[in-house]
Structure formats: C-alpha cells, structure tokens
Structure 1
Amino acid sequence: MARIAVIGAGAGAMAAAARLAVAGHRVTVYERSGTYGGSLGRHARDGFVFDTGPSLLHLPAVYRDLFVKTGKEPLERCVTLRQVDPASRHHFADGTAVSLPNASRAGVVQALDRALGTGAGTRWAAFLDRAGTAWDRSRRPLLEEPLDEDRGGLDRDPYPALRRRRLLRPARQATTLAEIGGWELADPRLAALLDGYALSYGLDPRRAPAAAALLPYMEQTFGSWYVQGGMRELAGAMYERCLLRRVTFVFDAEVVRVAEKDGRASGVELADGTYAEADHVVLGARPGPGLMPGQAWGGDGDPAARRAPLPGRFVVLLSLRGARDAGAAHRTVVHCADGPAEQAAVFGGRIADRPTVTVLRPDDPSTRPDEAHEAVTLTATVAPHGPVDWTDPALRERFTGTLIDRAAEAVPGLRERILRTETRTPAETAAETGAEGGSVPAPALAGAGGAFLHPGNRTSLPGLYLAGGWSHPGGGPAHAGMSGALVAGLVVEGDGFRGSR
C-alpha cells in the first residue's frame, strides 16, 4: 500500500483519488480552498441556486465507469441524470432561430433545413460525418491513452477536410475551424454555429485546428445531460464516493511545493510549513511558479508557461420573478453578428462590444424558491483578468448590462423580471482556483503540430503525475474524469499502462 498525496479536489483529482483508494492505496487530498469540486461550484441565496462552472455533462460514460469501478452504487443511484431536449436553441444575427434536438442526427438535419433553408442540414450532416472520421482516427490516443513522447500521431490533424478548388491555383483544404465554416458549410449561420462551439470551450476558431470539429460531433452524437440540482451534485457524489473509499481530505491546505528526493517525488510542503511524505504525488491543479521541481517538465519546461493566458468566463446570475416559460430551452445561444470581431477582442485582451451569450434556464424546481420564480445564468467567453481589469466596478456593471441586453433578444421582458443580479468574472476564478488570469482550460485537440495538446499525465520526475483540466486530455468535466482514470492506471500498472480497453 503506497502513500499518495493528491493536490486539489477538482473532478480529475477526485476521480484519480477514488480509483487509487480502491486499488488499496492510502490517499490524502490537499485542497487550497474550503471545499471540493474545483470548477463545479455552486452559488445559493434566498432559494435560488446556480452552477458557477460547467452546467451540462457530455460523455456521461466517463463517470458511469468511475462509479462502477469504485463502488457498488452506479452513477444513476447517486445523481439524477436526464437528457436535455432540445440540446440547444440558437439565435442568429439575421433574426433566424433554430432548436437542435438532443443526439438525433436526422432531427438536427430537419431542424436546420426548416430554419435555414433546404440544404443547410445536409451540409451540416456531411460535416459531422467528416468529424466522425476524425473521431475514429484520434479518439483512443487523444482521450483514452496516456500521452507518449511521440504523441501517438496527434501532431497531425485527423479531420478529412474537403479540397477547395481555386482557379489557376493549387487546391486548398481547411486547416482551422473558421475555414471549415467558411469553405465547407457555406452559410454564415452554420459558420456561427460551429464557431460558437469553439468559443464556448475557450478556443479561437481562427486558430483552432480543424480537429476541433470533434467538439460538436461529441455533443450531437452522445448527447447533453443535466444533473438534477446542478453539476455540484456530481461533485458531491464524487466526494462521497472518495470518503466511502477512505480517502482523506484536508481543506484550506495550500500546497506550495512538491518535494523531490533521490530523483523522485517524495511528498508535499504546505503553506503553513507542514511537510507530508508520499510515495506518489498527483497534481490535480494548474501548476503555479515553483510548485513543481524543474526536472518534472523535462528539457522544455512547462509548455503552458510559453502561451498567453487562455480566456475566462464572465457569468451573470439572475434571480427572476415570474415562472419559467413552459417551452423555454435549457440552453440558448445568442450569436453575435461579427464573429471575427468578437474573436479578435476576446483573444486580443479586449472586451467585445456584442459578445456571444449563452442563456441557461434549467427546468429544475430545486434551483428556485417556488414556481413563481426562475434562476437564469448568462455566460460569455471573455479575455482573462490582467489584459482586462475585471475588478473595475464600472466595467463589471457595464458588461453585465451588455449580457442582459443580449440575452433579452432571446428572453423578452428579461430585464423587467430581475430581482437580483450577481456577477462572477475571471478575477474571481483566478482568486478561487489560482489559474493565471482566471483562465479555463480547453479540451486537448489533435493537429497544429501538437500546439493544442496538454502536458502528459506522467512527468519527467518519477512519482509525480498530472490530473485534471490542465493536463492530458484537457478541460471540461468529461476530459477531467478521463485524466483521473489515466493517472490511476499509470500509478497502479506502471508506465506500461496503455488505457482501459
């Protein structure tokens, strides 16, 4: 039985902790804040309850596997899952709108044809077919296997882009998501739909490789799921599973250094000077300066340190008077009129004038005090704290008003119903998680020479492993859960571990 120190209590860290405890190891989790869950946060006041991080679960099979492997009670006995239908509603700048059914390729084709004109659905379906080919080519090395030094061919883009004929010039293929939208989808609304998927994950469509087509493919193929009571309920179920497996949690315990002895990780040092020995250390948080020994990264150092901070999220929590509309969609995306301008602002450290806004209206009685009220969350991807000073009260108030005005395009009379408004910005995210600028990690992507991959789960320092959104295979609840499984496999089975089959 080995002593294992886990840094952080986010989804990836807890997934690793539960699996390692089941394997017979003595696991202690050190969390800098006063609670578990990481980005799976919750805000509650006067009977209104809001998710402050991810609000929907994709690829629930990741957590079904976790709960099956760590105890007798399956996931569905610990939380209530239901598919969201429609999966999303989209409002475009020209006034058209479309509701996309959940996990129904034929239904999506019909909806797009009705809303955008005959042929729109067929073009989208053909795009998803190509995205499916990319999924088949890259799924296992990208999501289910530890990242090897040779990267398993993930430097190359698996998306089979169409060749674009050009008069008297060589044919070209789309290499970015924005080029797929412009060249293959041939409709600005379909392009906005595609760009919106990338932006919601904090990716710039102008630079994200064509392999980012996997993001809409995964959602529209495997569906979108809501956890009754909010995603915090999933975090709570994971925490309870860890306790059941005798994982120890130490809260308000910030780890400032991973110790090294005789060429391997030997424990962790806390901010109060406490030192805890360990045979293995799992880092489930964004590495801060000085946290990891220099040799842990190998010769190139931390790859993330050489990049500009990723975008964050601006979140507005609205407590509303008045009942939820019976036909309201759980998730509505209000797209902007000028996508490239918004992307230039977000990824250039500025504020977009008319951002793309996601409106979340869960049909869940536990999120509101009674049926005469409604809890609504507005979210926009924004530049990180630093380039933009998100602590400026006037700026926060002005941008909050911008999001409310944009959301009102899809929810008439929204402003008149507001009882209370509360705002969370990348500044709060930075303070709570320690992530530079309040950045939110994106999923790993193949292609672009490996520029969109994350550090592997094993490090160059024996005994030190990486789990969670800042490591392979990247951000998002499903990806974080996968990283925990990969780390547990590496610790239990050694470097020969090749992923579950």
Structure 2
Amino acid sequence: MAEVIVVGAGVGGLAAAIRLQHAGHRVSVLEQSSSVGGKLGTLEHDGFVFDTGPSLVTMPHILAELFAATGTPVDDVLDLQRLPIAARYRFPDGTDLDVPGDLAEIPDALDAALGAGCGAQWSSFLDHARRIWDATHGPFLESPISLRDMASLARRVDDVRTVAPWSSLRGLASRYLHDPRLRMMADRYATYTGSDPRRAPAALASVPWAEQHWGSWYVRGGLGRIAIALTDRLNALGGHVETGTAVREIRVRDGRADGVITAAGDLRPADLVVANADAAQVYSSLVDTSPARRQLRRLQRSTPSLSGFVILLALGDEPPGQPHHRVLFPTDYDAEFDAVFGRQGVPRPVTDPTVYITAPDDPAIVPAAGTGAWFILVNAPRHDPESGTDWDSDGLVQSYADHVLEVMAARGIDVRHRIRHRIELSPADLARRTLTPGGSIYGSSSNGPRAAFLRPANASPIPGLYLVGGSAHPGGGLPLVLLSAKITAGLIGRA
C-alpha cells in the first residue's frame, strides 16, 4: 500500500485516484480550483447550467467499466441517454444532414440527404477505419506506449498497410469519399485531437468509427455530473479531494518524486505522485530536473493543439425542434486550419469558422420550460500574446463573440433576439482556469505521422512520478482520458 498524491481533479486524475484507492492505496487529490472536473467544467448562472467542456459521451462502455471495476454500476450514479440524432450538419451549399445515432441507419440517411452512393462511400471509409481500430486499440490506446510497440506494429505488414502511417486523415478519406461534404465530415474528426486533417495521421479515422459504432450519449443534468459521480465514488472508497489547494512543486529527492509542495508552502509527502496537469506545465513549472528538461524540449518540438472560443447563451425563448448537436460548416475549411495553426501568417481568430452548437433537451439545466442553455464553440488559436493571438486584448472577446453570432445568423440560426444573457470563455480564460499553456485543449496536437503515438508517456522518466490526462498518452477526449487513467493505475500496480 502506497501513499499517492494526485495533482489535479480533472477526469483523468479522479479516475486514476478511484482505481488506485480501490486497489488498496491511500489517495489524496489536490485541486487548485474550487471545483472538480478540470476541462469538464460547469458554469451555473441565473438558473441555467452550462457544460463548458465536452458535450457528448462517446465509447460509454469505458466509463461503465471504471465504475463496475471499482464497485458500482454506472447506471446507479449517472443517467446516460443515447441520442437518436448524433449531429445535424449544415454544409456550405445549404444541405442539412441528420446523422442517426444508430450506425446501421447512417448509410440510408446519407443517401437521402446527400445523394445516392454517399452511404456506400462512408461505409467503405468506416470499414477501413474499423480495421485501423482493430490494429491499434490494444497495443496503443489501451497499453503503455513504447517504441517497442511501434516496432512490433511495423513488423506486421498488413497492419502497416491498414494504419497507413505515411498518410494523413485527409489523404485516407479522399481515397473513399468523393463527395466534398463527406470529406468535410471526416476532416472534422481531426479536431477531436486539436489537429489539422491535412497533417493528422490516417489512424485518426478510427475516431469516427468508434463514435458511430458505440453511439453518442448525453448525461441528464449535464456532463459535469460525471466529475461529481467520480468524486463521490472516490470518497465512498476512502479517498478524498482537497479543492482550493494549488501545487507549486513536485518534490524530487535523490532522483525520485516523494511528494509535493503546495502554493502555501506546505510539504505533502507521498510515495508516488500522479500529475493530472498539462505535461508541458508539469515539466516546465512543477519539476526542475534534467529528465524533466529533456521532456520539455521534446514537447516544444511538437505543435500545440488548437484551442476553443466558447459562448454560453441563455435563451429566454428557445427555437423548437433543436438537435442536441449541430455543426455549421464554413465555405473554406482549409482557411480555418490555416488561421488556427498560423499558416500564411500568425495564428489568428477564424473569419469564417465552423460553428458547433450544443442545445441539450434537458429540463434539469434550464430554469423554465421553453428556455435554452446553448453552448457555442468555434476552433480558435491558443492564447499567445508574443507571437499569435492575445485574447486579453481590449474588446477582442466581445467583438469576436458578436461575429460568431453573425456567422450563425447567416447560416440560418439567428437567436440574437432571444438571448437573455451570454458569457464568453476565451482560450486565455481556459489557460487560467485549467493551467493549460495557451489554452491548448489537448496539449500537443496530432499533426505529423508519429505525433499521435508519441505523446508524453504515463510513466515519466522520474521514478515515482506518473502522468495522466489529455496531454499524456493516449490523448484527449473523455474515453481516452479514462483509458489514460487505467493505464497509469496499471503501471503503478506493477511498479
């Protein structure tokens, strides 16, 4: 039995803490914020409840396995509901497409909305994506990553052909998808890792397959309930979370992590430390050793992931018949990625962005029938005052929010006259709230053929220190963060 301190009460930190506490360790979670959840945030105002992070649960069996493995069925603590319509897409030509939540129904829906043959194109693409999943999910997504794993895959010629490490997501999709609207749908999945589809690896095709195979789910009351359920489970097992306690340093003595020092100067000794913080933050601010500096230099060679600009809308009179999730595509998708990643100039706000609208049909998150709590997201460059976008510059946040609402109106969703109040959250706000450098949602992007497999390892090069969360292996998003926690807890169990 070990004394374990987890730094950060995001989903990854809480999930790792639950597994470790259940395994017999004594676990304390220290969270600098006054609330739990990390990027899975919640904001309440005037009776409206907003999720400020993920809007959907995908691969819900991973969440269910965590609770089942540690003593309780997920259905006892969370009301998970499968969405009949996963998303409504609006394409630049004005075509609307409702993607069913049932994979078997998707080809017919594509044919009906986009034209005969589109369903077959998408099915062929997903068949290849399924084979990528089969080749990669065991050795990469569910296991500690190592160069030995990559070498093992390289020796399996058929798997190499399937994963196509020399190809981008855009390149692979173009082999199967001849309708430009289908290619836009495929491109969108690069943003699940904060990446550019022209540079993200073809392996990311497994993302749409997994999402559509297991469906899209919502938690009644908002996805923030997940963090509460995780905290409750940890408490029931005997662990505890201490909010409002920032960590200034992960102490390393004789080459081994042996505790943390809080911002108040208190030493909290531990046998093991699990950092649920952005890897760049860990290796630049919390640990100062030669191995940490080497890891930081490696991270600095990667491309940071994109960030997001969020508008929370409290609507006094919600338009009827809204889908849970809506995506409004721009005329020029490439121009969006050029702007966010600084091609042909510095990283900059997108003039004609893709707009993501989440409008849950959930009485638990609004003060009265007929009102709506809408989450609006657009891809955005990270906060970088020195060489990119300074999101704290006077008037930028308000003027850009106005612009996004104008874009929505031009694409047929004009709710400006229905707004009771609005709240903007910029990449700078995200950086401050989660201590994520620049507000990069996923740490490093998956831009480049090897990037998706070379995230910081869960076992750091410093004995006694482990990493968990979206910036570490295997990546960002709720299911991968939960897998990260399982991997980290397994490594500690074998240590």
Same fold flag (TM > 0.5)? yes
Moved more, 302-311 or 114-123: 302-311
Q: 1:113 maps to what in 2?
A: 111
Q: Which has the higher helix share?
A: 2
**Secondary structure of the residue that 1:377 maps to in structure 2?**
strand
1:332 aligns with 2:330: no
The answer to whether the 8 A contact 2:193-2:445 is kept is: no
The answer to whether the 8 A contact 2:48-2:373 is kept is: yes
Q: 1:46 maps to what in 2?
A: 46
Q: Which runs of 5+ in 1 are unaligned?
A: 164-172, 495-501
Displacement of 1:60 in angstroms is: 1.1
Q: Structure 1 residues 193 and 88, CA, compared in 2 at 3 Å: closer, same or farther?
A: same
* 2:317 corresponds to which of 308, 319, 322: 322
**Secondary structure of the residue that 1:225 maps to in structure 2?**
strand
**Secondary structure of the residue that 1:30 maps to in structure 2?**
strand
1:93 & 1:296 partners in 2: Cα distance? 49
The answer to whether the 8 A contact 1:317-1:422 is kept is: yes
Displacement of 1:292 in angstroms is: 2.2
Alignment of 1:209-358 (within 5 A): 209-287=201-279, 288=281, 289-297=284-292, 301=296, 303-325=298-320, 327-348=321-342, 349-358=347-356
Q: 2:460 maps to what in 1?
A: 459
Q: 1:87 maps to what in 2?
A: 86
1:415 aligns with 2:416: yes
1:326-384 deviations in whole A, cap 9, x for unaligned? x3210010001101111100111112111001111101001111112111111111100
Letter in 2 for 1:83: R
2:330 & 2:318 partners in 1: Cα distance? 28
Displacement of 1:43 in angstroms is: 1.1
1:373 & 1:2 partners in 2: Cα distance? 50
The answer to whether the 8 A contact 2:302-2:444 is kept is: no
Q: Structure 1 residues 302 and 174, CA, compared in 2 at 3 Å: closer, same or farther?
A: closer
Letter in 1 for 2:113: A
Displacement of 1:435 in angstroms is: 0.7
Displacement of 1:462 in angstroms is: 1.6
**Secondary structure of the residue that 1:472 maps to in structure 2?**
coil
The answer to whether the 8 A contact 1:174-1:180 is kept is: no
1:406 & 1:205 partners in 2: Cα distance? 23
Displacement of 1:307 in angstroms is: 2.7
The answer to whether the 8 A contact 1:314-1:381 is kept is: yes
1:121 & 1:361 partners in 2: Cα distance? 27
Letter in 2 for 1:90: Y
Q: 1:197 maps to what in 2?
A: 189
2:260 & 2:119 partners in 1: Cα distance? 54
Displacement of 1:443 in angstroms is: 9.3
State the TM-score, normalizing by the size of structure 2.
Answer: 0.92
Q: 2:429 maps to what in 1?
A: 428
Q: 1:96 maps to what in 2?
A: 95
Compute the RMSD of aligned alpha carbons: 2.3
Moved more, 455-464 or 438-447: 438-447
The answer to whether the 8 A contact 2:56-2:223 is kept is: yes
The answer to whether the 8 A contact 2:132-2:162 is kept is: no
Displacement of 1:114 in angstroms is: 1.1
Q: Structure 1 residues 434 and 340, CA, compared in 2 at 3 Å: closer, same or farther?
A: same
Q: 2:126 maps to what in 1?
A: 128
Displacement of 1:394 in angstroms is: 2.2
Q: Structure 1 residues 147 and 55, CA, compared in 2 at 3 Å: closer, same or farther?
A: same
Identity %: 38
**Secondary structure of the residue that 1:87 maps to in structure 2?**
strand
Letter in 2 for 1:272: A
**Secondary structure of the residue that 1:249 maps to in structure 2?**
strand
Q: Structure 1 residues 294 and 103, CA, compared in 2 at 3 Å: closer, same or farther?
A: farther
1:102-133 deviations in whole A, cap 9, x for unaligned? 132x3111111111111111011100000001
The answer to whether the 8 A contact 2:430-2:436 is kept is: yes
Q: 2:67 maps to what in 1?
A: 67
Q: Structure 1 residues 438 and 301, CA, compared in 2 at 3 Å: closer, same or farther?
A: closer
Q: Structure 1 residues 357 and 413, CA, compared in 2 at 3 Å: closer, same or farther?
A: closer
1:152 & 1:51 partners in 2: Cα distance? 37
Displacement of 1:473 in angstroms is: 0.8
Displacement of 1:385 in angstroms is: 0.7
Q: 2:360 maps to what in 1?
A: 362
Displacement of 1:90 in angstroms is: 0.3
Displacement of 1:201 in angstroms is: 3.7
**Secondary structure of the residue that 1:333 maps to in structure 2?**
strand
Q: 1:376 maps to what in 2?
A: 374
Displacement of 1:305 in angstroms is: 2.6
Q: 1:169 maps to what in 2?
A: none
Displacement of 1:13 in angstroms is: 0.5
2:152 & 2:8 partners in 1: Cα distance? 28
Displacement of 1:162 in angstroms is: 11
Q: 1:77 maps to what in 2?
A: 76
**Secondary structure of the residue that 2:417 maps to in structure 1?**
helix
Aligned residues: 482
The answer to whether the 8 A contact 1:161-1:174 is kept is: no
1:155-212 deviations in whole A, cap 9, x for unaligned? 869575699xxxxxxxxx9711222344431111111111122225411011001111
The answer to whether the 8 A contact 2:145-2:453 is kept is: no
1:331 & 1:54 partners in 2: Cα distance? 11
State the TM-score, normalizing by the size of structure 1.
Answer: 0.91
1:34 & 1:16 partners in 2: Cα distance? 20
The answer to whether the 8 A contact 1:312-1:440 is kept is: yes
Displacement of 1:223 in angstroms is: 0.8
1:3 & 1:80 partners in 2: Cα distance? 33
**Secondary structure of the residue that 2:6 maps to in structure 1?**
strand
Q: Structure 1 residues 160 and 129, CA, compared in 2 at 3 Å: closer, same or farther?
A: farther
The answer to whether the 8 A contact 1:15-1:484 is kept is: yes
**Secondary structure of the residue that 1:290 maps to in structure 2?**
helix
2:22 & 2:335 partners in 1: Cα distance? 50
1:180 aligns with 2:172: yes
**Secondary structure of the residue that 1:269 maps to in structure 2?**
strand
Letter in 1 for 2:210: M
**Secondary structure of the residue that 2:395 maps to in structure 1?**
helix
Displacement of 1:79 in angstroms is: 0.9
